[in-house]
């Protein structure tokens, strides 16, 4: 598995992480198979969130992992908080602290390697968040911190009050969600792709050594479904299959290789609980697409260049 530097540190993490959003749909033995498949492929990074399955995903993970032979220190375990049932967000100190305690209990852990704030809270008080982070770190409950779906101004605002460096920002990025790179290639134009909806965060991350974690790497829309083997995207699947045949892997691996080919050292979140999909996706970390192959996929996904 390809390894990348985590944020501004010298620590290395795998270029892929296993997202456990759908683990609530699995039995404990099935969850163990998925975790083991990821670990055997070099994916020793887990990404979760307190809202996944209403907390059930973390419960299943905790039961599964506690019975496995993998040592805790061999895994990097991350969870997210901030989205509250009832369609609101909450970055209050009280909520963050309480949420972490509940996460640790569900996952049967003594600490999290990373805590990520899940989608921006319009009522965020950066100084209050800073107090929560300091308390969690001092108590040994969380080692590192990050955010999810923050634009550059939100990220800089929070960072200005923290004593810790934010390591991560989770952002949607895939062959069918390319906004973070479209506008740069359509600079000085007036067409739709020239609109910057992501506040140039990818370039900011490269300048300031923030690890972008790409979620929904095989999805189109937000949660409409996967573009892999989808009849609605014939050109893209034809190009994926051509390269899959060349590199002797599956389409998932090629779609993953496309993301990892970007020089920003992006970490890709694999959300599948299917062991075969996990193993195939992991093979993408070993493939370095040529520049022409990368652009051929970009164009086959329905994008165009000026």
Residue 208 in tokens: 């300031």
Q: Are 15 and 4 in contact (CB under 8 A)?
A: yes
Distance CA 273, CA 254 (A): 19
Of 39, 52, 89, 247, catalytic: 52
Contact between residue 13 and residue 4 where contact means Cβ atoms under 8 Å apart: yes
Bridge partners, 18 (sequence order)? 46, 270
Q: Is 52 a catalytic residue?
A: yes
Cα–Cα distances in Å, from 209 out to 112, 118, 119, 126, 206? Answer: 21, 20, 20, 21, 5
Q: How far is CA 53 from CA 49, 59, 155, in A?
A: 9, 9, 27
Check: CB of residue 61 under 8 Å from CB of residue 91. no
β-pairing verdict for 76-81 and 112-118: parallel
Element containing residue 115 per DSSP (H, E): strand 112-118
* Cα atoms found within 13 Å of the Cα of residue 154, Cβ hemisphere only: 20
Q: Which residues are catalytic?
A: 52
């Amino acid at each position: 598995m390809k390894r990348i530097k985590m944020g501004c540190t010298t620590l290395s993490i795998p270029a892929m992480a296993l997202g456990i959003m759908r683990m609530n749909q699995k039995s404990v033995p099935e969850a163990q198979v998925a975790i083991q498949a990821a670990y055997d492929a070099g994916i020793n990074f887990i990404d979760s969130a307190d809202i996944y399955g209403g907390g059930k995903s973390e419960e299943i993970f905790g039961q599964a992992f506690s019975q496995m032979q993998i040592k805790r220190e061999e895994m990097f375990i991350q969870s997210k908080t901030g989205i509250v049932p009832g369609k609101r967000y909450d970055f209050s100190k009280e909520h963050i602290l309480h949420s972490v305690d509940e996460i640790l209990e569900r996952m049967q852990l003594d600490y999290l390697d990373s805590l990520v704030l899940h989608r921006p809270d319009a009522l965020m008080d950066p100084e209050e968040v800073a107090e929560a982070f300091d308390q969690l770190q001092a108590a040994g409950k969380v080692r590192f911190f990050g955010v999810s779906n923050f634009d550059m101004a939100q990220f800089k605002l929070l960072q200005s009050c923290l004593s810790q460096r934010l390591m991560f920002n989770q952002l949607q990025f895939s062959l069918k969600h390319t906004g973070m790179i479209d506008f740069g290639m359509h600079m000085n134009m007036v067409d739709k792709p020239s609109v910057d909806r992501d506040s140039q965060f990818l370039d900011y991350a490269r300048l300031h050594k923030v690890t972008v974690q790409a979620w929904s790497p095989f999805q189109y829309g937000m949660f409409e479904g996967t573009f892999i083997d989808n009849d609605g995207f014939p050109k893209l699947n034809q190009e994926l299959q051509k390269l899959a045949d060349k590199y002797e892997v599956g389409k998932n691996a090629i779609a993953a290789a496309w993301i990892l080919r970007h020089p920003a050292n992006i970490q890709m979140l694999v959300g599948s609980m299917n062991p075969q999909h996990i193993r195939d996706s992991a093979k993408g970390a070993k493939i370095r697409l040529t520049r022409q192959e990368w652009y051929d996929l970009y164009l086959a996904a329905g994008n165009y260049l000026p």
